[in-house]
Amino acid sequence: AQKVTQAQTEISVVEKEDVTLDCVYETRDTTYYLFWYKQPPSGELVFLIRRNSFDEQNEISGRYSWNFQKSTSSFNFTITASQVVDSAVYFCALSEGLTSGTYKYIFGTGTRLKVLA
C-alpha cells in the first residue's frame, strides 16, 4: 500500500543552521508524484514543490532544495541558513493513481521545525 513516512516528529535548530527534513515513501505505481507543503503557525497549507517519478534531478529554490532518490524511495527537503520564518510543520505527500483515473494524495505525519533566534 502507498505510504509516506516522516520519521522526524520535531526538529529544533538555531537560526542560520542548515536542516534536512526526511521523507520516505512506498508505492507500487511506476508513475507518481511527490509534494512538499508548509503549514506555518497561522494554519494554512502552502504548496512548495511537486516532483514526478521520472525526474530525479535535484531542485533548488533560494534557500530551499530537494533531493529525490528513487533508489532509496526518498524525497528529502533541505533548508539552508534557516530563519525564524521557516518555523512550521512540513508535510511530504505522494499522489496515488486510482482506477477512476483520478489521484488520491497521501500525506505523511509531518515534521515540526522550530528555528530559534
Partner 1 sequence: NAGVTQTPKFRVLKTGQSMTLLCAQDMNHEYMYWYRQDPGMGLRLIHYSVGEGTTAKGEVPDGYNVSRLKKQNFLLGLESAAPSQTSVYFCASTQGADNSPLHFGNGTRLTVT
**Where on the chain is the footprint of partner 1 (CB under 8 A)?**
6, 9, 32-33, 35, 37, 43-45, 47, 50, 52, 91, 93, 95, 100-110
Q: How far is the CB of 7 from partner 1 (least distance, A)?
A: 13
Q: How far is the CB of 33 from partner 1 (least distance, A)?
A: 4
Q: How far is the CB of 15 from partner 1 (least distance, A)?
A: 26
Nearer to partner 1, 62 or 101 (CB): 101
Nearer to partner 1, 14 or 47 (CB): 47
C-alpha cell at 34: 511527490
